[in-house]
Amino acid sequence: MNLQHDISAEPAPAPLACWSCAGPVAPEALFCATCRVVQPPRPIDHFARLGLARGFAIDPREVERSYFSLQRQLHPDRFATRGAREKAISQAQAVALNDAYETLKGTLSRAEYLLGLGGDAPADDRTIRDPELLMEQMERRETLAGARDAAGVETCIGAAVADTMTIEAELGDAFAAGDVAAARRAALRLRYLRKLVDEARARHARLLGGE
């Protein structure tokens, strides 16, 4: 499966009708080109919503730029003199944009979303079935459990953070190569590793707090 966005393979989306003037509007359009009235969020994917090409390799600054430029157009001040329906629609658009931004800005959430779009990552199945991965996680947990003081926990955190960076690079390589199995595996490792780092940081804080 090709995880990169192949625009040529997709039929051009049929124009939708503006709720106010019935003029044609593109699915990702915030406003009707004819009457300039705000349009409700359509069921398009997060990449399309932010006007980004579908793919893992996205410059985070591009996500920011796109999100903030769209969000500015929906600022409540701009709708102060508009009717209740337009206000409600602009808010719904703002929520949809937020959702897209939150999902795409993070490495792991973007990877999982992209895998889900390809039908390769059932959202409810994040259990480790791979014996090798399971062993890796158990060893990490044992090391963390065995750390007796804040310095020991810090060492665990340092090792896990270093591994996180390596796995993020592997994730990028897997997507670039279109290797879905490798991308899934890397995403799962990353999910567990992040959880471990969060837990280790919480424990570190408790240790420093003298509990």
Closer CB to Zn ion, 90 or 103, in the complex: 90
Q: How far is the CB of 94 from Zn ion (least distance, A)?
A: 19
CB of 37 to Zn ion, least distance (A): 5
Least CB distance to Zn ion at residue 30 (A): 12
Token pair listed for 72: 């500015």
Which stretches of the chain bind Zn ion, using CB under 5 A? 18, 20-21, 23, 32, 34-35
First and final C-alpha spacing in the chain: 51
Q: Is 38 in contact with 19 (CB distance < 8 Å)?
A: no
Contact between residue 39 and residue 28 where contact means Cβ atoms under 8 Å apart: no
Closer CB to Zn ion, residue 81 or residue 127? 81
Our CB check for Zn ion shows the closer of 32 and 96 to be: 32
Minimum distance from CB of 89 to Zn ion (Å)?
12
Q: In angstroms, how far is CA 84 from the centroid of its own chain?
A: 31
Smaller CB separation from Zn ion, 20 or 91? 20
Q: Are 58 and 67 in contact (CB under 8 A)?
A: no
